[in-house]
A and B are shown apart, each in its own frame.
With several copies, the nearest count.
Chain A
């Protein structure tokens, strides 16, 4: 088995419709490969059509007219040893020699096999003014230099690593400034793996959702809880998962959590619906209430005129037909929606999820306290927040309430290194912070401990009750218990 090479090149060729990650230097961009679509990346524009059929990992040059041309693979392998000891930035400065690398120096470095990024680092090291610039100016300088020396584009298969680095580098605001090393912690501390049932609540553009799904590999189920209008999934889409992955993904609106917990979630029409009695659905106002997202608003003005013009009559009939058709379509959509809601509800109702991941711009405390009820005992949960204070509150609340052990509030510190002969040092710019995590493990809630709590009256009894419910529901995840 060991020598069996399961490495066909066919599976790694770029196709139309693929989601890919473009790489230039250490800047990334996620795009879908489409016919004759103009892509703008780092202020250059081009078409990906020539990349189709090429293998993932291929490096391209941009030619006139924006077409891509695969670059000849260059055999790397030159050592960097030729630079001598003592020939570092300080020396250059103090010798009173040229205070910057000359154009020739850069060419030499290039010949020595230095990548664009390394050349940029060299430029930084040899710029007497770099360290004296403001942080903003430094970042600008780096960007400018990068643009100049890193112009080739590589097309890569998406992965959590690439997308997390891409979002962090380009649009950290969209992912609540979640740094890739922090995302790494989330996935590991959450014990995310194939075959488990994970609840995800995130407002990180779908990146966290996608990374969880990648780690599930299409096995098990993910329930995405979503606020307001609907779940955000752009980041997840960028992973380009095969279609069966999507079947493992469920969604449930936050605004129905209370109803679900109370057992009053209205799913009664589900069974009747499937038995074709669909007339009530379109008209029912309650359906709109339950639908969460109402994507289509009938833009057609409802004409109130009464006329006998036969043409008008025909038009009206047509309109009527159209309306009915729309109603039918809507009915089908509503039906699908209800089915999806029901299946997500069924997964949640067992209260036996294998993990909970929260990474959002919402106050994590009510979210955590609400969603933790759906998690089985002895399962990990991880809460990310860009700020420290809300997690301190979560911690305090959990301690009061019980049901969770091994609580840890952490942040991490990440530094990259330049490793070059006689010029090894940490990279001069580093990320200021990667956000905070609160992680822990659920345990069966306990009446005795609850009794000693701050809020003494009802929670103890309540928790006991919840506990009993969840125990009795364990093996009936498919059955929807209507209380």
Chain B
């Protein structure tokens, strides 16, 4: 298992995602002899996981069962231990596309945070690219290094524990793309410019507040960035369900009205052999509440020097 390559079978040391049911998962590090407690009972790593195929069903001690999944950056994003606020898949997807990331891209990121975006970047730029990620907070940087090792992607990433606004990314002229998720992105624009290749590259800054966006756009313009573009993406999940709609009873049908007739036409269309009292309709409904904002994404192009 690695976050940049699929494996067929579960091995010692792998991180697997235990799927317990709708929106309920947990990450587990596989160690022979170890056990994991779930609400369906105990999973014994040696007998239940090691050697099993990813995606298979594992029966727990209480008779319940779970699926064991191969980790992906997307599964990691919803399962990772939170050290900070994290970026979610909808924003990550757009960042990846709008930064033109692909295998071989050299990318700078700050801050590393909980590594949600980092894993996704690494997946995309492997096997020939490199990620330079800068994290101000020492313990977080340390933890990220450790995670990257466990996830078998450490050969693709350099973690630096420094203040990006003061010290930059620690590289010059090698990056295809720079991503900023810091409180004062405008203070890091010069460093971002320096990190990008002479022939140019792309930049993205993520900020929750519009004032941050305003100051960042101004700094980008002042530093010669082009195609400055701010956007926002919201995901809406739809629940698929069947709903029952009662039909109105307009009373006994008289010869010169056609309203009930209409109603029965309808029910014929939808519930052939039932009484005229209701129709069932397959529909999709949005959740009562959803994420209404994560942050603004500002993109820009550094032109050739």
Interface residue ranges, A against B (CB under 8 Å): 1-7, 9, 12, 55-58, 73, 75-81, 85-86, 88-96, 113, 115, 125, 128-132, 134-135, 138-139, 159-161, 164, 172, 177, 180-181, 183-185, 187-189, 191, 193-196, 214-219, 227-228, 254-259, 261-262, 264, 352, 354, 361-363, 365-367, 369-370, 373, 376-380, 386-390, 392-393, 395-397, 405-406, 408-417, 419, 421-433, 436, 441-444, 446, 459, 462, 465, 471, 474-475
Contacts and interface: CB of A to CB of B under 8 A. Distances in A.
Contact of A409 (B237, B250, B256): B237
Interface in B202-239: 207-214, 217-218, 221-224, 226-239
Given A354-B6, A387-B243, 10 more contacts: A188-B120, A362-B247, A363-B246, A363-B266, A367-B248, A370-B262, A417-B230, A425-B208, A432-B290, A474-B8
Contacts of A258: 250-254, 257, 259-260
A255 B74 CA distance: 33
Contacts of B198: 5, 7, 9
B74 A366 contact: no
Contacts, number: 408
Contact of B173 (A7, A57, A75): A7
A107 to B, nearest CB: 19
Given A91-B183, A409-B237, A429-B289, A441 B266 contact: no
A185 B55 contact: no
Contacts of B224: 75-77
A388 B284 contact: yes
B221 A366 contact: no
Q: Which of B69, B90, B222, B258 has the most CB of A within 10 A?
A: B258
Contacts of B19: 405-406, 441, 443
Given A392-B240, A409-B284, A471-B53, A134 B199 contact: no
A428 B100 CA distance: 27
B197 interface: yes
12 contacts: A3-B172, A6-B106, A73-B303, A81-B218, A132-B86, A256-B251, A369-B262, A405-B67, A409-B238, A417-B230, A425-B208, A444-B53
Interface of B: 4-6, 8, 19, 23, 53-57, 67-70, 72-74, 82, 84-86, 89-90, 92-94, 96-98, 100, 102-104, 106, 111, 120, 123-124, 126-128, 130, 132, 136-137, 158, 170-174, 181-184, 197-200, 207-214, 217-218, 221-224, 226-240, 243, 245-260, 262-263, 266, 278-279, 281-296, 298, 303-304
A135 B263 contact: no
A227 B222 contact: no
Given A76-B224, A414-B231, A88 B183 contact: yes
A414 B281 CA distance: 26
A13 B130 CA distance: 24
A377 B54 contact: yes
B209 A425 contact: yes
A459 B258 contact: yes
A257 to B, nearest CB: 4
A166 to B, nearest CB: 14
A172 B174 CA distance: 36
B200 A257 contact: no
A141 to B, nearest CB: 12
A171 B183 CA distance: 39
Contacts of B93: 181, 184-185, 187-189
Q: Which 8 A-B pairs have the closest CB atoms?
A: A377-B55, A217-B103, A430-B292, A378-B55, A262-B254, A91-B183, A432-B286, A188-B93
A366 B210 contact: no
Contacts of A217: 102-104, 128
Nearest to B92: A188
Contacts of B237: 408-410
Nearest to A96: B137
A432 B213 contact: no
B89 A188 contact: yes
Contacts of A139: 289
A3 B120 CA distance: 24
Nearest to A423: B209
Contacts of A254: 248-251
Nearest to B135: A94
Contacts of A214: 102
A115 B245 contact: no
Contacts of A429: 289-292
A375 to B, nearest CB: 10
